[in-house]
Amino acid sequence: DTGVSQNPRHKITKRGQNVTFRCDPISEHNRLYWYRQTLGQGPEFLTYFQNEAQLEKSRLLSDRFSAERPKGSFSTLEIQRTEQGDSAMYLCASSPGGEHYGYTFGSGTRLTVV
């Protein structure tokens, strides 16, 4: 098991374009999370999946953001009509069931909107 994998590592896009990020969690983990982190700040929660069900979405996740986790395996996060304010590190994490577990994080996708 190679841990949580995120692709791409870096993405530069022009304002108004759509982008999609992928996260492959640890295979035994049924819980998957997306966070956004801006420079010098802590990660902010975006959304949570348990298996294929999206159980919680943050108010930070505007209508331009959508996330999926088909078949409860990998997940994708899409941002439509990107804005400069979307520039951030997007982190994916996974965990087994049970609140006493911490998360295992991926290395993140750095998005720059120009």
Sites of contact with other proteins (CB under 8 A)? 31, 33, 40-45, 48, 55-56, 89, 91, 93, 99-100, 102-108
CA pseudo-torsion sign 102, 27, 6, 65:
negative
Looking at the Cβ atoms of 46 and 79, the one nearer to other proteins is 46
Find the shortest distance in angstroms from Cβ 30 to other proteins. Answer: 12
Looking at the Cβ atoms of 44 and 81, the one nearer to other proteins is 44
Reduced to 3 states (helix: H, G, I; strand: E, B; else coil), residue 36 is strand
Sheet holding 65-68, edge to edge: 5-7, 19-24, 75-79, 65-68
Find the shortest distance in angstroms from Cβ 16 to other proteins. Answer: 27
Looking at the Cβ atoms of 80 and 104, the one nearer to other proteins is 104
Read off φ and ψ for residue 70, nearest 5 degrees.
-65, 135
Contact between 15 and 84 under an 8 Å Cβ cutoff? The reply is: yes
- Which residues, 6+ apart, have CB-to-CB distance to 62 below 8 Å? none
Find the shortest distance in angstroms from Cβ 43 to other proteins. Answer: 5
Looking at the Cβ atoms of 14 and 42, the one nearer to other proteins is 42
Find the shortest distance in angstroms from Cβ 53 to other proteins. Answer: 12
